[in-house]
Amino acid sequence: MNERPSDLDNPSPAFFPLRLLEGGLTVVRVAPLEGALPGALAAFSTRLGGVSKPPWGAMNVGYHVGDSPVDVTENRRRLFRVLGLRADTLVTAGQVHSDVVALVSAPGHQERTDGLATLSGGLTLAVFCADCVPVWLLDPKTPAAAVVHAGWKGSLAGIAGRAARLMIERLGSRPKNLLAAIGPSIGPCCYEVGPDVAGPAADLYGPDVLSAPGPGGKARLDLWEINRRALTRAGLDPWRVYVSGLCTSCREDLFHSHRREALRSAGSDGMPDRAGLGGAPDRAGRMVALLRLPEGK
């Protein structure tokens, strides 16, 4: 794989380096996890290097947003090829904004779940995001792995912690061996929510997960911190939980964003759906968080 650093700005390049691959395709690597287990792959796609047309340009890997299926298939083919992955190893989740984590041992699609966990080397776990939080978990000792899609509902329900507990209780992981990474997603700089979301968030995770209102006059929610707390409550060492600090809404040069595109096409009230992380087809493409244990592990 021909890979070199990207010159795009990154607030945490040591832990989440941007890598420029063949054909201008750029990915975020999750270095702490990949470095902990030789042969493991943990990565997040960006919007760069694909063939999709506006408004989904260019690297959209989501079939469900109205983009051409032919273009999405080509984007996935390019992404998998440059990362050295095979499409027939893919495991995907239904992503219904739940707190359900499925234990998987074979390729395929898991309905009504937002998290995937495995002991099987060679499987490629995948969740698709365009503001929701991707969370990777790795136990390099067992080894075992999990990946989670956490929108506001899943984040408040503690799906990241649920995935960690599943690894501890059913896969033989020990909390001290677990590493986790919270990837590119909408940040506390941009994620405004109403009181119906802000109130439960403060009750469950503390008032400091909310910050001063943004331009829209609503409180801003820190999904990164909520997921970090869910992981540490499950027993992870705080120093082994890494946060990318990359906001998908801010970084239009790098990422698709459901919230950003919804605001552009919003009505006179200037706001999209209730919390801005809905699952309906929209004008934003999707990125994918990928996690694979090495073959033979």
CATH number attached to the domain at 4-292 = 3.60.140.10
- 1 — pLDDT class (breaks 50, 70, 90): low
Report the pLDDT value the prediction gives residue 7, as an integer from 0 to 100: 67
Report the pLDDT value the prediction gives residue 296, as an integer from 0 to 100: 77
Q: pTM of the predicted model, to two decimals?
A: 0.93
What average pLDDT does range 27-54 have in this prediction?
97
What average pLDDT does range 268-293 have in this prediction?
65
Report the pLDDT value the prediction gives residue 270, as an integer from 0 to 100: 41
- Residue 199: both structure tokens together: 């109130």
The count of C-alpha atoms lying within 13 angstroms of the C-alpha of 260, restricted to the half-sphere facing its C-beta, is 24
- 266 — pLDDT class (breaks 50, 70, 90): low
What average pLDDT does range 58-70 have in this prediction?
95
Domain residue spans of the chain: 4-292
Burial class (CB in 10 A: 0-12, 13-18, 19+), 5: exposed
Reply yes or no on whether the pLDDT at 69 is more than 50: yes
Report the pLDDT value the prediction gives residue 271, as an integer from 0 to 100: 41
Question: Distance (Å, rounded) from C-alpha 53 to C-alpha 14?
Answer: 32
Q: How many CB atoms lie within 10 A of CB 270?
A: 10
Relative to beta strand 241-243, strand 179-182 is parallel
Which residue bears the tokens 């990946």? 147
- 265 — pLDDT class (breaks 50, 70, 90): confident
β-sheet bridge partners, residue 285:
none
Residue of 124, 126, 115, 117 lying closest to 155 (CA atoms): 115
* DSSP class of 247: B
Report the pLDDT value the prediction gives residue 124, as an integer from 0 to 100: 98
**Cis ω for the linkage preceding 69 (within 30 of 0):** no
Distances (CA, A) of 81 to 75, 132, 224: 10, 25, 30
Report the pLDDT value the prediction gives residue 9, as an integer from 0 to 100: 79
137 CA to centre of own chain: 11
What is the DSSP code string of 128-180? EESSSEEEEEEETTTTEEEEEEE-HHHHHTTHHHHHHHHHHHHS---GGG-EE
- Residue 246: both structure tokens together: 């990359």
Report the pLDDT value the prediction gives residue 162, as an integer from 0 to 100: 98
Comparing 5 with 196, the larger pLDDT belongs to 196
What average pLDDT does range 255-268 have in this prediction?
80
Reply yes or no on whether the pLDDT at 232 is more than 70: yes
Report the pLDDT value the prediction gives residue 297, as an integer from 0 to 100: 59
**Cis ω for the linkage preceding 219 (within 30 of 0):** no
Average pLDDT, the chain: 92
pLDDT tens-digit map of 113-165? 999 999 999 999 999 999 999 999 999 999 999 999 999 999 999 999 999 99
Residue by residue, what is the 3-state secondary structure of 49-110?
CCCCCCCCCCCCCCHHHCCCHHHHHHHHHHHHHHHCCCHHHEEEECCCCCCCEEEECCCEEE
- 51 — pLDDT class (breaks 50, 70, 90): very high
Reply yes or no on whether the pLDDT at 280 is more than 80: no
